[in-house]
Amino acid sequence: MAERLVVIGGDAGGMAAASQARRRRPQDLEIVALEKGRWTSYSACGIPYLVGGDVGGLEDLVARSPQTFRDKFRIDVRTRHEAMQVDLDRRKVEVRDHDHDRTYALGFDLLHVATGARPLRPPLPGIDGGFVHGVQTLEDAAHLLDHVRSASIRRVVVVGAGYIGIEMAEAFVKRGAAVTVVTDLPQPMASLDEDMGSLVADAMRAYGIDLRVGEPVLGFDDQGVHTRASGLVPADLVVLGMGVTPSSDLAAGAGVATGERGAIRVDRRQRTSAEGIWAAGDCCESFHLVSGRHVYVALGTVANKQGRVAGINLGGGYATFPGVLGTAVTKLCSLEVGRTGLSSAEAAAAGFEFHAVTIDSTTRAGYFPGTEPIRIKMLAERRSGRLLGAQIVGREGAAKRIDVVATALSAGMTVEEMTALDLSYAPPFSPVWDPVLVAARKAADATSGR
């Protein structure tokens, strides 16, 4: 009799695992995937660009539909089916079928948890109002778009100024709305150092966004958002971009161990503390390759990689996920932002003594038409010169240079070793000395005392 694998969660961390398990066990494994929404394998990262009009429709964000998984992979995908409780002793999942208003028990031999994350919604007055929207899932996007299309939206308040916050702010600026971004933090993009985040703040204000930092939100009503410093900030619509928290309650309630920020603890093979139970994606933690600590990083790239590793192991193979660097990029209109490794605050918290250097350069040869400014901040460990992290803020052609730094970090390079990297050059793409190499050379000088 075939074993049954139950996958809880139909996005990247879940369906990547289900697909890999099927490839390795094409005949003797029954796979059931439970997804409480209507879609599978979609790009939540594309939601701001859908709202802003760059993407035509919801279905454009779906990489593989539930029917594709059923037909091509013989995975029994059950949408609008929510896992309510897991009984590890009886090896059963209590499932709520929302379309048919019924609950049933589903047995399993193997279980993979990919329940993702949910937007932070602090218990503030009015936060559950109909004009306050999160943007974590396609269901969220559908509700938001329905609201935008059914009402006159002239004033939008975005609460939070991280990746989602600034991307949603841009989306509504493109729609012609007056946008206010409110954050209780002293700067946007808290994952950047203050001097780099200030460049983002300047760009936001230059694009007409009313940025209000250091303003805790007190509550919401049908007039808008109430903050401690400004009182009422009028709004026809509010978007929450305050970050996310792991949706680990289901696993934790079953007795599975959790760790950083309550995320599910996994080993290098994505195994949890419970026999035969695996996890991947935004619901579980990762290992940081530079700090050596367990961290919580909710990124689609990580979810896909972890899901693939879990699926290979579930299918009888062997794979490991070594860890993360927290590499990420975003944009605000023409401003591009990238970061990888440790920020100054993170490096200090991890116990490193380090040098931080900053350089200004251009994305192309200075004389070439269309060249744009770029600023790079790079961190290197004192004495050893080991690369610890970098941040990039600039115009077109700036952000993806962070991938060079991420590659060097993965290789454990020193900044001195980076200066010899044989990077490409042509005037339309870079100065003779690429800005990444200029930053590495300055960091190498700082660590060597030259």
Q: Which residues are catalytic?
A: 45
Whose CA is closest to 350, among 292, 408, 396, 302?
292
Whose CA is closest to 387, among 360, 426, 361, 355?
355
Give the whole-angstrom CA distance, residue 56 versus residue 362.
33
Contacts of 193 (CB under 8 A, 6+ apart): 343, 344, 345, 356, 377, 391
- Mutual orientation of helices 194-206 and 163-174 as an angle, nearest 10°? 10
Q: What angle do CA 376, 433, 437 make, to 5 degrees?
A: 45
Amino acid at 22: R
Q: What are the angstrom distances between the C-alpha of 68 and each of 63, 138, 241? A: 10, 18, 32
Name the strands in the sheet holding 76-79, side by side, starting at the edge strand that comes first in the sequence: 76-79, 29-35, 3-8, 110-113, 277-279
Q: What are the angstrom distances between the C-alpha of 216 and each of 159, 200, 262, 308? A: 9, 20, 24, 40
H or E element, residue 279: strand 277-279
Contacts of 315 (CB under 8 A, 6+ apart): 20, 21, 22, 23, 24, 25, 29
Q: Would you say 200 and 166 are in contact if contact means Cβ atoms under 8 Å apart? A: yes
* Cα dihedral: 48, 50, 51, 57 (round 10): -150
DSSP 173-220: HHTT-EEEEE-SSSSS-TTS-HHHHHHHHHHHHHTT-EEE-S--EEEE
Exposure string over 343-366, b if 16+ CB within 10 A, otherwise e: bbebbeeeebebbbbebebbbbbe
Contacts of 206 (CB under 8 A, 6+ apart): none
DSSP 120-181: -----TTTTSTTEE--SSHHHHHHHHHHHHHS---EEEEE--SHHHHHHHHHHHHTT-EEEE
Give the whole-angstrom CA distance, residue 327 versus residue 322.
14
